[in-house]
Structure 1
Amino acid sequence: MQFPVQLIPSLSKGDGTMTSGLIRRALLSVGVIGTGQWLLSDVMHIPGGGLGVAAAAGLWWLARPVKQPSFREPASLKGWIQRCEEVLSQFEQLEAELGLQGLHTPREKELRRIEDFDAPLSLGVVATEGSGLPSTVHLQQALAGVSSLDLCLANPLPVTSRSWSWPDDLQELDVLMHVLSLPLRAADLLWLDQLPADRPVWLLLRSSSDLSAEDHLEALCCQLPERWHQFLLPWSGEALELRGVLQPVRQQLMRSQRVRQGTRQRLLSSLHRRWQAELETLRRERFRLLLQRSQWIVAGVVMASPVPSVDLLAVAVGNGLMVKEMATIWGCSWSAEVLQVVARQLGSAALAQGVVELSGQALLGLAKLDGASWIAAGAMQGLSAAYLTRVVGVSMADWMALNAGVAEPDLEELKRQAPLLVARAAEQERLNLPGFAQQAREWIQDRNSCTPA
């Protein structure tokens, strides 16, 4: 049976509101910290600002044991379509909030194209430079019995590269067959390492003249990850043996409906990752508006609080509500318990790195720029709370960007990454202190203008 041999361009042709539980925890925290503040300040005479006590107590408030839920990527075509439609809704919402138009229709068309993807079943045959491909005629004879199959022969993959990135033209092919000459070269292993785990790929192992492929298999299985062990096709290079060697490939291609469904899911997964990257720019823009609003709400409540213990309510509840809105922006369907765990880890890292103390020192430096505006005694404490909100908010945004809607958030990995996330956010905000100083002056002026004479 003859198959059309397709050549593709880079191939040679041949993506709120506070709960009652949050309110109960916040009220409980206020009572406990109010008593604790009195004991520390009036009885034990231990110095320390209300914000530091508030931050430490905020961690206690968040540190209760919680059940860590598990997440799974969609396991079906219907699940991936539903997930991509959710990302489309996020695009639409963010674009409306930012005043953007005309971007929804092209994305929806792309989603529908993949959903209805119905090109002929395709097999891509590829090799690195120096590894010859079987002839087209021999491949067609070996695959006889598979109906409506496009056989696509790729240009050789280079043995030297900066990116080691597989050509985009291969993405929509249903199955790949990578022809490798034994023994493997370093370039072969690098190209194999770049293939995603969800990609159907067979390895056709062509032996040298002096040793058979079977002689190389034991050593080869030690070189290759276990994922490849069931997809190795040893071949002596003789054309007459090719049909028997490719029998597993033929059997897979004959289950065309299953293969095509897997292709659609893989393409939707790739589309979802790309949309998540595109969403990130819009999310960061929307997040900055939220962060600026939240930090001054927290600062205002801290500055106006009659007793230092109320700072806990402002910081914990204010940042808690910000995190909930951030989860909406990033499309994270995480429970309140997961948000609690993430906030706890980032808060612990912020305290361990002395963000509260460092923010106070930095703001003292800014105070020298315009001493007349720093009249109220609570202004420094309020601004320190705002600065702390910025650092924790930015580190939370970075974590959500890495995990939103793509894969299960690894909370153990968060423990390892939290210090780096906080340090990076603190450095970023330190470099942005002049902008924060200008916002602080405007906030202080607003507060002063609202103060009765």
Structure 2
Amino acid sequence: MPVPSISTKKLIPSIAGKLALAGGSLVFGSWVLSDIVHLPGGGAGLLALGAGVWWVTRPSKPASFSEPSSLPGWIRRCEAVLAQFSELELSLGLDGLRSSREQELDRLKALHEPLSVGVVVSEGGTHPTTSELQIALEGVHSLELCIAKPLPVVADAWSWPQELEELDVILYGLPMPLRAADLLRLEQLPTDRPAWLLIRDSVHQSREARQEALSCQLPKQWCDRLLFWSGESADLRQGLLPVRSHFVQPSRSREITKQRLLTSLHRRWQAELEQLRRERFRSLLQRSQWIVAGVVIASPVPSVDLLAVAVVNGLMVKDMAQIWGCSWSSEVLQVVARQLGTAALGQGVVEWSGQALLGMAKLDGGTWLAAGLIQGLSAAYLTRVVGASMADWMALNAGVAEPDLEDLKRQAPLLVAKAAERERLDLPGFADQAKEWLKSQRYAGA
């Protein structure tokens, strides 16, 4: 499961509006200080005062993922994720989360196979013969040439075969004219992959003109990775000069490949880690939401917001912090929950959920009409939305020593809106859970 992302474009005023407001405030303030208060140097004083206020009240920049720039850095980053899998093993009572991944990391760290070039074409495409490629790449130290099976031009997915992942360089034979299948395939090749497009230039046209024409059709990152050859061995060797240059320093070439593989490994582990966390969280959330509903029904109050947020704070926040490895203080966790709960109430989650659940009156014929029951289910739904938005926030800030609470205030409405939309789509599932819970309550009462 991918880690959620947030866009704040709709929450931030336009630059022009900010400049207009700042300019108007400066002119008005300068006039007040100079002509009304008679303060010498009013404009300069106002600027100094404004700068001081801005410095004190400026929001701190939210923490972001700092991508390592070296091989040892990526190794340490992957080892840190392994430690998080170990923690989940203990908290979830699962086995095998770490051992298999640790073996995978050790294998990449010890990778010492010869440098490799993979030659790939799609069905119907052509590439130079093995002997021609060997002559063209002659001089590269300990180079292994891999000719892959032609890739299908009709497929449900356009991802690249996994066995090509560890090759140091990809040469993709691009047929002319361009085909949609080849363009779709190129879109799936990561931009950090050392790869070139090998084009058989058999048309009587200058290569500059051909390159300019292709640049208008290909994705931008490929415009500087076009290699032309006429079919002659000597011409092929000249065309593959960038590939040979890539292998001038074999140790550096291998380091680039290892770093790319570790980057991909880290990305995949993070997605798997987040999926495990979400599974653990959903069971925690389901238990907590019905405890909230039970408390509200047992002691109905005019408003469910304070009670729901209090229960969320007490039952879920600390457990969620443990799941996501957030070592924040209980005060910070309460502020986060309160801010998201306030945003949910401001967006009318309780009112909407009450109306939606009331419209599904078939949940439990007779008892459903009780006002306390409606209130309890609405409180459970509020807990569900607040918990989901809190999970998104923790996923975004996992590993951060101290979250930016000012940034949370700005992001809370959007976090809640996205969580509410997801839960709205899953309302039938919530209704089924509510039906089972109501039945259990009725039997318990009997």
Residues 1:99 and 1:328: Cα distance change in structure 2 (over 3 Å): closer
Q: 1:435 aligns with which of 429, 433, 436?
A: 433
Alpha-carbon distance, 1:338 to partner: 12
Shift of residue 202, structure 1, vs aligned partner: 1.2
Whether the 8 Å contact between 1:67 and 1:337 is mirrored in structure 2 is no
1:271 aligns with 2:265: yes
Q: 1:122 aligns with which of 91, 116, 120?
A: 116
2:158–2:188 contact (8 Å) kept in structure 1? yes
Shift of 1:312: 4.6
Whole-angstrom CA distance in 2 between matches of 1:357 and 1:268: 48
Q: Cα–Cα, structure 1 residues 252 and 431, in superposed 2: closer, same or farther, change >3 Å?
A: same
Contact 1:175 1:200 in 2 (8 A): yes
**105, 113, 117: which one pairs with 1:111?**
105
Judge conservation of contact 2:74–2:259 (CA < 8 Å) in 1.
yes
Displacement after TM superposition at 1:285 (Å): 3.0
Match for residue 223 of structure 2 among 209, 225, 229: 229
Across the aligned residues of Structure 1 and Structure 2, the Cα RMSD in angstroms comes to 4.2
Counterpart Cα distance in 2 of 1:266 and 1:75:
11
Alignment correspondent of 1:355: 349
Code of the residue aligned with 1:161 in structure 2: it is A
Report the 3-state secondary structure (helix = DSSP H, G, I; strand = E; otherwise coil) of the residue aligned with 1:70: coil
User: Which residue matches 2:157?
Assistant: 163
Identity, in percent, stands at: 54
Tell me which amino acid in the other structure corresponds to 2:421: A
1:165-200 CA deviation, whole Å, 9 max, x = no partner? 211110111111112233322222111111012211
Shift of 1:129: 2.5
Letter in 2 for 1:285: E
Query: 2:245 — aligned with what?
Result: 251
Higher deviation after alignment, 130-139 or 315-324: 315-324
d(CA) in 2 for partners of 1:343, 1:266? 41
Cα deviation for residue 124 of structure 1 reads 0.7
Distance 1:126 1:84 in 2: 30
The one-letter code of the counterpart of 1:288 is: R
Which digits, 9 at most, give the CA deviation of each residue in 1:226-280, with x for residues without a partner? Answer: 2222222222332111222211111111222222222122222322333344445
Higher mean alpha-carbon deviation, 316-325 vs 410-419, is at 410-419
Gaps of 5+ in 1: 1-14, 16-63
Matches of 2:185 and 2:200, distance apart in 1 = 17
What letter corresponds to residue 430 of structure 1 in structure 2? P
Q: How far does the alpha carbon of each residue in 1:330-360 deviate from its partner, in whole angstroms, 9 at most, with x for none?
A: 56799999998999689757854x4312322
For residue 121 of structure 1, report the CA deviation from its aligned partner. 0.9
Residue 141 of structure 2 contacts residue 250 of structure 2 at CA under 8 Å; is this kept in 1?
A: no
For the Cα contact (< 8 Å) 2:344–2:385, is it kept in 1? no
Query: Which runs of structure 2 are paired with 1:54-453 in the superposition (5 Å)?
Result: 67-296=61-290, 298-299=292-293, 312-319=305-312, 322=316, 325-326=319-320, 328-330=322-324, 348=343, 352=347, 354-364=348-358, 365=361, 368-369=364-365, 371=367, 380-394=374-388, 397=391, 419=417, 421-439=419-437
In structure 2, do the counterparts of structure 1 residues 305 and 369 end up closer, same or farther at CA, with 3 Å as the change threshold?
A: closer
Deviations 1:415-449 (A, max 9, x none): 88965552231231433323224335657998x89
Contact kept? 2:392, 2:415, Cα under 8 Å:
no
- Larger RCO of the pair (alpha carbons < 8 Å, separation 6+): 1
Equivalent-residue separation in structure 1 for 2:278 and 2:175 (angstroms): 47
Tell me the amino acid that sits aligned with residue 422 of structure 2: R
SS of residue matched to 1:181 = coil
Judge conservation of contact 1:395–1:425 (CA < 8 Å) in 2: no
3-state SS, counterpart of residue 132 of structure 1: coil
Change in 2 beyond 3 A, CA 1:95/1:392 = same
Report the TM-score when normalising by structure 1: 0.69
Deviation at 1:152, TM superposition (A): 0.8
AA of the residue aligned to 2:423? A
Judge conservation of contact 1:347–1:392 (CA < 8 Å) in 2.
no
SS at match of 1:254: coil
Structure 2 CA distance for aligned equivalents of residues 421 and 138 of structure 1: 57
Structure 2 residue runs of 5 or longer lacking an equivalent are: 3-57, 400-406
TM-aligned CA deviation for residue 120 of structure 1:
1.0
The structure-2 alpha-carbon separation of the partners of 1:289 and 1:272, relative to structure 1 and needing over 3 Å to count, comes to same
TM superposition shift of 1:222: 1.6
Q: How far off is 1:289 after superposition?
A: 2.8
Residue type of the alignment partner of 2:123: E
Please tell me whether the aligned partners of residues 344 and 382 of structure 2 are also in contact (alpha carbons under 8 angstroms): no
Amino acid at match of 1:146: V
